Amino acid sequence: MKDTVFNPRPGDEARLMQGHSFDGSQMPAARTPVSIECAGGLHTTANDMARWMKWHVDRLATTDRDLRLLDHAAYLIATGSPR
């Protein structure tokens, strides 16, 4: 995912997805302090989000098969189901 970052780079703002509150109003941009980037929010584009979803739902793909199995193992344990 080439366009998913903890903090937008110069020029990224125009391409990022906009978050909205429950009332439909736009949420303000909140930068993540470098000291907690791993725990902060991510900024992404629609293309990267679609790429991420496609990777996760492509059960028949042979590329990254072991990585996908390992990544999904936590869900299998928690739900007891491969769905």
Domain boundaries, the chain: 13-79
Give the mean pLDDT per block of 10 residues along the chain (83 residues): 86 80 89 82 86 85 85 70 58
54/66 Cα distance (integer angstroms): 16
Amino acid 1: pLDDT? 83
- Model pLDDT, residue 82: 58
Dihedral class, residue 61 (left if φ above 0, else alpha if ψ from -120 to 50, else beta): beta
Name the burial class of residue 45, with classes exposed (0-12), middle (13-18) and buried (19+) by CB atoms within 10 angstroms of its CB.
middle
Question: Among the residues of the chain, which ranges form H helices?
Answer: 46-57, 65-79
